[in-house]
Amino acid sequence: MSELKNEACEACSKDSPLATEEEKRSLGADVPEWRMVTRNGEEQLERTFKFRNFAQALAFTNQVGELAEQEDHHPMLVTEYGKVTVVWWTHKIGGLHRNDFVMAARTDELYAQQ
């Protein structure tokens, strides 16, 4: 598994650079189950995680929420019966930053511990 999961997020400002195409390819290879999507003109990382029931999905949502609070980097979370969709992107810069790939890897690690 990727070493990205061991990294912490760096503080971003409005001038922080978006990930380059090369960075997106390289970092994306470390989180292969995530897909890059564009919403409202902003690139984002998205993955849907499957669970046996709503209670497990909700527990995972709360774990991702705790991780997000620790790093002060917050995703979009959609919790449904048996699945959670997590979407990471950096709001301040309107797209993808290395932090988003770090958080995707850390989210994968949480899921692996289920």
Q: Is residue 16 part of a domain?
A: no
**Distances in Å between the alpha carbon of 84 and those of 42, 54, 60?**
21, 9, 8
Strands 76-80 and 83-88 turn out to be antiparallel
Reported as a pLDDT band with limits 50, 70 and 90, residue 26 is: very high
- Give me the number of domains the chain comprises: 1
Two tokens, residue 58: 């909700």
What's the rounded Cα separation, in Å, for the pair 59 and 61? Answer: 5
- Residue 42 confidence (pLDDT) above 80: yes
User: What global pTM score does this model have?
Assistant: 0.95
Q: Given the structure tokens 């990727």, which residue do they identify?
A: 2
Q: Is residue 47 part of a domain?
A: yes
Q: Is residue 4 part of a domain?
A: no
Instruction: Residue 107: give its domain's CATH number.
Output: 3.30.1360.20
Structural domain that includes position 103: 34-112
Q: Is residue 83 part of a domain?
A: yes
- Residue 1 confidence (pLDDT) above 60: no
What separation, in Å, do the N-terminal and C-terminal C-alpha atoms of the chain show? 16
Task: Say whether 52 sits in a helix, a strand or coil.
Answer: coil
